[in-house]
Structure 1
Amino acid sequence: MGLDLDDTKRSIVIVDNAIIVPPPRGMGGNNNRFQSSGVLTAEGEMVENSITWGEGRQVNLAPEMPDPATIEHLPGQHMFGGMLFGHFGHFLVESTTRLWALDELRPAIQSIVYTPKINARPMQFVRQFRPLFNVLGATVPIRSTPVPLRVDRLFVPRQGFGQFELMRGSEAFRSYMRRFAGRTVPAKGAEKIYISRSGLARDRGGIIGEWLLEEQLKAEGFEIYHPQNHPLLDQVAQYKAAKMIVACDCSPLHLVGFVGNAEQKVAIIKRRSMDLIPHFVDQLRLFQNIDAFEVDVLVEDWLPYPDKRPGRRSCGEISFARLGAALAEKGMISGRTTWRDISDAEREDERERLRVLHDGTPFHRMLNREKYLAGQQEGTVRGDNKFA
Structure 2
Amino acid sequence: MDPFDPKTQPLPNTGWSNSLTRVSNAHIEPATTSGFVQEAGVFDGDGTFVPQSALWRKFRQLTQEPTERNAPVERLSGKWLWGGMLWRHFGHFLVESTNRLWPYHDFEDEIEGVIFCPKRPRFTDIVMPFHRAFFEQLGISKPIKVAYEPIGVEELIVPGQGFGLGEISHGTAEMRAMVHAHFAKDVQPDGPDKLYVSRAALRSHLGGVLGEKRIEEKMRAEGYEVFYPEKHDLPTQIARYKAAKKIVGLDGSAFHIAAMVCNADQDLAMIRRREDGAVRFLENHIASFTGKEARVYNALITEWVPEDKPKSNRMAYGDIDFAKLGEMLHQDGFIGDQSPWQSIGEDERKALWAESGLEYKTGYTEYIKYVRRRRQVLRAERQAARSSAK
TM category, shorter: 0.7 to 0.9
The CA distance in 2 between the partners of 1:249 and 1:166, in whole Å, is 19
The CA distance in 1 between the partners of 2:225 and 2:303, in whole Å, is 27
How far is the alpha carbon of 1:117 from its aligned partner? 0.9
Check the 8 A contact 1:98/1:158 in 2, yes or no: yes
The CA distance in 2 between the partners of 1:13 and 1:311, in whole Å, is 35
Local SS of the residue matching 1:200: coil
2:283 matched residue in structure 1: 281
1:226 to 220, 225, 228: 228
2:59 to 44, 56, 59: 56
1:326 matched residue in structure 2: 328
Specify whether residues 242 and 368 from structure 1 end up closer, same or farther in structure 2 by C-alpha distance, changes over 3 A only: same
Amino acid at match of 1:207: V
1:142 matched residue in structure 2: 144
1:382 matched residue in structure 2: none
1:186 matched residue in structure 2: 188
So what's the TM-score if we normalise by structure 1?
Answer: 0.87
2:45 matched residue in structure 1: 42
- Deviation digits for residues 18-50 of structure 1, max 9, x if unmatched? 1111122xx22xxx1211111101121111210
- What is the 5 A alignment of 1:361-376? 361-368=362-369
The CA distance in 2 between the partners of 1:249 and 1:348, in whole Å, is 23
The CA distance in 2 between the partners of 1:138 and 1:342, in whole Å, is 49
Check the 8 A contact 1:5/1:159 in 2, yes or no: no
The percentage of counterpart residues that share the same residue type is 32
The CA distance in 2 between the partners of 1:373 and 1:173, in whole Å, is 40
How far is the alpha carbon of 1:120 from its aligned partner? 3.8
Amino acid at match of 2:27: I
1:14 matched residue in structure 2: 22
What stretches of structure 1 of length at least 5 have no aligned partner?
Answer: 375-388
Check the 8 A contact 1:126/1:143 in 2, yes or no: no
How far is the alpha carbon of 1:121 from its aligned partner? 4.3
So what's the TM-score if we normalise by structure 2?
Answer: 0.87
Local SS of the residue matching 2:206: coil
The CA distance in 2 between the partners of 1:166 and 1:159, in whole Å, is 8
Check the 8 A contact 1:85/1:125 in 2, yes or no: no
2:262 matched residue in structure 1: 260
The CA distance in 1 between the partners of 2:358 and 2:183, in whole Å, is 37
The CA distance in 1 between the partners of 2:334 and 2:374, in whole Å, is 29
The CA distance in 2 between the partners of 1:306 and 1:299, in whole Å, is 22
* Alignment of 1:244 onto 2:252: no
Local SS of the residue matching 1:107: coil
Check the 8 A contact 2:209/2:317 in 1, yes or no: yes
Check the 8 A contact 1:209/1:346 in 2, yes or no: no
Specify whether residues 119 and 335 from structure 1 end up closer, same or farther in structure 2 by C-alpha distance, changes over 3 A only: same
Specify whether residues 302 and 119 from structure 1 end up closer, same or farther in structure 2 by C-alpha distance, changes over 3 A only: closer
The CA distance in 1 between the partners of 2:360 and 2:44, in whole Å, is 50
Specify whether residues 275 and 36 from structure 1 end up closer, same or farther in structure 2 by C-alpha distance, changes over 3 A only: closer
The CA distance in 2 between the partners of 1:367 and 1:38, in whole Å, is 38
Amino acid at match of 2:62: V
Amino acid at match of 1:119: P
* Alignment of 1:3 onto 2:10: yes
The CA distance in 2 between the partners of 1:246 and 1:205, in whole Å, is 17
Specify whether residues 170 and 353 from structure 1 end up closer, same or farther in structure 2 by C-alpha distance, changes over 3 A only: same
2:120 matched residue in structure 1: 118
Number of residue pairs matched by the alignment: 367
How far is the alpha carbon of 1:302 from its aligned partner? 2.2
The CA distance in 2 between the partners of 1:310 and 1:277, in whole Å, is 11
Specify whether residues 149 and 292 from structure 1 end up closer, same or farther in structure 2 by C-alpha distance, changes over 3 A only: same
What stretches of structure 2 of length at least 5 have no aligned partner?
Answer: 1-7, 376-390
